[in-house]
Chain A
Amino acid sequence: MSRAALLVLADGRFPAGGHAHSGGAEAAVKAGRVTGAASLEDFCRGRLHTAGRVAAALAAAAVLGVDPVELDAAADARTPSPALRTAARKLGRQLTRAARATWPSDELDALAREFPKGAHQPVVLGLTARAAGLGAVDAAYCAAYESVSGPASATVRLLSLDPFEATGVLARLAPELDRVADRAVEDARCVVDEGADALPAASAPLLEIGAEVHAGWGVRLFAS
């Protein structure tokens, strides 16, 4: 494998459409729950240990060869908000396009056929990592990092937050990212043996509710 492939995949400039989504930050800013670097950090920490942890385990399990259809159904069950399910599938479809062009693979072709409207993004991310010759822990890191980097960069735009402060938030979360990624790989190994029910199901009520509030707005800066 080439470790550098991880840099390509995790790069914010990788053309997979992530920049159009705030990971719930736009709704949280509008509601006055995120007002600066400290509350952004708390937001990101909560998202990392809930949606991020689940996404990381899904991605790692996909790398380990668990059936993507089964993983996609498990992602649906862990995403009660239809706005978030739609966003995850849109992001999944965009990532599928970018990944097939970058690391052509039969598995990605099959996934695109199975899910013409897109599979949940973390599942696609896992299969992309697999196509790029990366391992489960790499995919877990990617998913966990995306769960916090998206809201952090969105908040820079939403609050005109100093980008240095936003980057500081991400750096302070690094030790927790390590733990979430490691644990996601352990969870994924359990999924190989026990099936998708062994996936974590950590949930964040305000991310779910906020996504529905956000979807009802007429004008918004981010898609989710």
Chain B
Amino acid sequence: MGADTARRVDGVTEAVAVAGVRATARILARDDGRGGTSLPVLEGDGPLALRRTRGSGDEARVMLVGAMSGPLGGDHFTVQAAVEAGARLRVGSAAATIALPGQAKGESRYDVRLTVADGGELHWLPEQLISARGSDLYATTRVDLGATSRLVLREEQVLGRAGEDPGRLTSRLVLRVGGRTVLDQELACGPGAPGGWDGPAVLAGHRAVGQLVVVRPEFAAEPVAARVLGEGAAVVPLAGPAALVTAVAADGLRLRRVLDEALGRLR
């Protein structure tokens, strides 16, 4: 309260800095009727730039290119992707996203909103999210799928750059299939997170944690079998037509190896 008042009194320049950057990127993927996928909407501003890259077959590919560093404290980024019926989209990112401290106080936000209509398919495979020391990020990913949509989604969080303490990172992943919430998970870690986050029940000193979600209509009748992949990862069937891989690892490289292996087994 006191800090807010001071900021207002301090005038315009600081108010702009304190507000942080707001940026939105939007992708719309549509069946082009000729066996391919068109992108009638592909727009990003400020730090969120989008590039269409060469696709394969009927799939369109998009690369998320970080044009600035961030998110920094106070920034609010939003990425929205919608895949229409029969369209296929694959999205990756050119580099890891690094949450950094900024001049603005308070948390930054990174919201991802994905919708895939019936018969559409989305592969959402960005690079890692790295929580740098002193940063404070709340990241949310909300995915809405139709009953016959298909999805492969990977999320990886790395706590601190090499040898660095992490910042505060809270990430929530919500998956809905056919209007039903199939997965809702939030992980909070770093300074200021509820106690025990680095202890034996939650991360136990691991500095990388990731999830891989695979949704296929055929999983409704034939769910994947639960399987352990070493001490730090497991593939499980969710209460819906979806499989989840949860993994912890010492670092981002090892985490990627485990998730890649798991994805290979799910093919």
* A contact residues vs B (CB 8 Å cutoff): 24, 28, 31, 33-34, 39, 42-50, 53, 73-74, 76-78, 80-83, 85, 176, 196-197, 199-209, 212-213, 215-216
Contact = CB atoms under 8 A, between A and B. Distances in A.
B253 interface: no
B246 interface: yes
A213 B199 contact: no
Given A77-B181, A209-B248, A49 B186 contact: no
A197 B181 contact: yes
A46 B185 CA distance: 15
A46 B184 contact: no
B194 A202 contact: yes
Interface centre among A46, A47, A205, A216 (most CB of B within 10 A): A205
B155 to A, nearest CB: 12
Q: Which 9 A-B pairs have the closest CB atoms?
A: A46-B196, A42-B199, A45-B196, A46-B201, A33-B200, A49-B194, A76-B239, A212-B234, A203-B185
A112 B247 CA distance: 36
Most chain A beta-carbon contacts within 10 A, residue among B182, B186, B197, B201: B201
A34 B187 CA distance: 21
Interface of B: 172, 174, 180-188, 194-197, 199-204, 209, 226-228, 231-234, 236-239, 244, 246-248
B239 A28 contact: no
Contacts of B185: 78, 80, 201, 203
A85 B200 contact: no
Given A78-B184, A80-B238, A213-B228, A205 B195 contact: no
Contacts of A176: 195
A179 B200 CA distance: 21
A47 B201 contact: yes
Contacts of A215: 226
10 contacts: A39-B200, A46-B196, A47-B201, A50-B196, A74-B184, A80-B244, A82-B237, A200-B186, A202-B186, A216-B228
Contacts of B194: 49-50, 53, 202
B181 to A, nearest CB: 5
A80 B175 CA distance: 12
A83 B226 contact: yes
Nearest to B235: A212
Given A176-B195, A202-B188, A81 B201 contact: no
Given A50-B201, A77-B182, 7 more contacts: A81-B226, A176-B195, A201-B174, A204-B202, A206-B200, A209-B248, A212-B228
Contacts of A83: 226
Contacts of B187: 202-203, 205
A49 B196 contact: yes
Nearest to A48: B196
Contacts of B201: 24, 28, 42-47, 50, 204, 206-207
Contact of B236 (A45, A49, A81, A201): A81
Contact of B234 (A53, A204, A208): A208
Contacts of A206: 200-204, 248
Contacts of A213: 228, 231, 234
Contacts of B231: 31, 209, 213
B195 A49 contact: yes
Contact of A85 (B184, B188, B199, B239): B239
B200 A28 contact: yes
Contacts of B180: 73
A80 B186 CA distance: 12
Contacts of A199: 184
Nearest to A40: B200
A200 B204 CA distance: 22
B200 A82 contact: no
B200 A46 contact: yes
Contact of A205 (B182, B184, B239, B246): B246
B184 A201 contact: yes
A82 B226 CA distance: 8
Given A33-B204, A82-B226, A83-B226, A43 B199 contact: yes
A99 to B, nearest CB: 24
Nearest to A34: B200
Given A82-B226, A176-B195, A205-B209, A73 B181 contact: yes
Given A48-B196, A80-B244, A205 B202 contact: yes
A90 to B, nearest CB: 16
Contacts of B174: 197, 201
